[in-house]
Amino acid sequence: MELPYQPVYVMIPSSNESIESERLLLRPICDSDAAALLAIRGRPEVAKTNYPKEPFKSIEHTREWMASKVFLKGPEDIIGRSFNFAILDKSIPPSEEQLVGYVSVNTLEPCPEIGYSLLPESWGKGYATEALRMLLKKWWDLPRRNRVEDNAAEEKIYAICEKQNIGSTAVLRKCGFEIVSDFCFGSDELFIWALKKP
């Protein structure tokens, strides 16, 4: 998979604050979210458009995946930090499980790349588009490094999506992403999408 290279422009805080809209609450993912995330990533219809394509089968597997969202490469001040948010549906009573998805910046190297998934019961409500817009606003609002040598480079954020994933394609288009290239990974045909910093 050939993602483009981009220097790390962003500065990630040691702890991220929650973001709220009328319908959704995005808050940093924590260890106690493992069971709710397993309920999402354990669903075959979710797994088929993610990597790996096998539904998660255990809390341990889910925790390994959660740990993979922590940045291990890049400037010293971002090592051990993450930009990974649980999506909570505020219309669900707090006494029930409000976590219906997640949205995150998965990696910073070779470039910042986003990912998201929702419980199938929450598909079709516009939650993925709304949550991604909230994440992107927070991302672009983060402080940037002084990079004199890169002042000609245009900062972008990227996404990878299967060509046949109509739902995710619609989300990315609504959020302003454009296709920049395509590639095959095994039997999957994928698009690389990019969004310029506003």
Rounded-to-integer distance, Cα 182 and Cα 13, Å: 33
Residue 171 falls inside a structural domain: no
Residue 173 falls inside a structural domain: no
Residue 146 falls inside a structural domain: yes
What CATH code is carried by the domain that includes residue 57? 3.40.630.30
Q: What share of the chain is helix, strand, coil (3-state, %, to 5)?
A: 30, 30, 45
Residue 116 falls inside a structural domain: yes
Q: Where are the alpha helices (DSSP H) in the chain?
A: 34-41, 44-47, 59-67, 127-141, 166-174
Residue corresponding to tokens 């998965």: 106
Q: Looking at residue 72, what is its pLDDT?
A: 94
Angle between helical axes of 127-141 and 166-174 (0-180°, round to 10): 40
The count of structural domains within the chain is 1
Are 157 and 50 in contact, with CB atoms under 8 Å apart?
A: no
Residue 5 falls inside a structural domain: no
Residue-wise pLDDT for 135-147, tens only, equals 999 999 999 997 6
Residue-wise pLDDT for 79-125, tens only, equals 999 999 999 999 999 999 999 999 999 999 999 999 999 999 999 99
Q: Please check the confidence at residue 47 and state whether its pLDDT lies above 90.
A: no
Rounded-to-integer distance, Cα 169 and Cα 190, Å: 11
Residue 100 falls inside a structural domain: yes
Q: Please check the confidence at residue 187 and state whether its pLDDT lies above 80.
A: no
Expressed as residue numbers, the domain containing 28 is 19-153
Alpha-carbon distances, residue 190 vs 6, 14, 122, 168 (angstroms):
20, 33, 24, 12
Q: Please check the confidence at residue 14 and state whether its pLDDT lies above 70.
A: yes
